Amino acid sequence: MAYVVTEPCFNCKYTDCVVVCPVECFVESESMVYIDPEPCIDCDACLVECPVEAIFFEDNVPDEWQEYIQLNAEMAKTCPPITEKKDSLAETGSDCANPA
């Protein structure tokens, strides 16, 4: 099992979660970050850092976002890794919802 980044991250891309990951399992697309399920060790570090509550344990992903489980795995194979904090899309003018 692994953690999964879901819909609330889309067009927000806060990277607070990235810097606390002890196994560097995050990858980055233009519009959001994803978790590579292979190296994820279910440590909970990223979960508490996400200001938009976009990260869920795989078994707890809400029904409406179930497709993100497969999407995270697929994107992990094609997107570059990210290990450092960057400005979020919200901070650069995105239409992202305000952080929780």
- Does residue 97 lie in a domain region? no
Please tell me what DSSP assigns to residue 93: T
- Kindly report the three-state secondary structure assignment for every residue of 26-78: EEECCCCEEECCCCCCCCCHHHHHCCCCCEEEHHHCCHHHCHHHHHHHHHHCC
In sign, the C-alpha dihedral spanning 55, 32, 8, 37 is: negative
| pTM of the predicted model as reported, rounded to 2 decimal places | 0.90
- CATH number for the domain harbouring residue 35: 3.30.70.20
d(CA 82, CA 100): 23
Q: How many domains does the chain have?
A: 1
Residue 28's domain comprises 3-83
Angle 65-14-83 (CA atoms, 0-180°, nearest 5)? 105
pLDDT tens for the chain, 100 residues long, are: 899 999 999 999 999 999 999 999 999 999 999 999 999 999 999 999 999 999 999 999 999 999 999 999 999 999 999 999 999 987 766 656 544 3
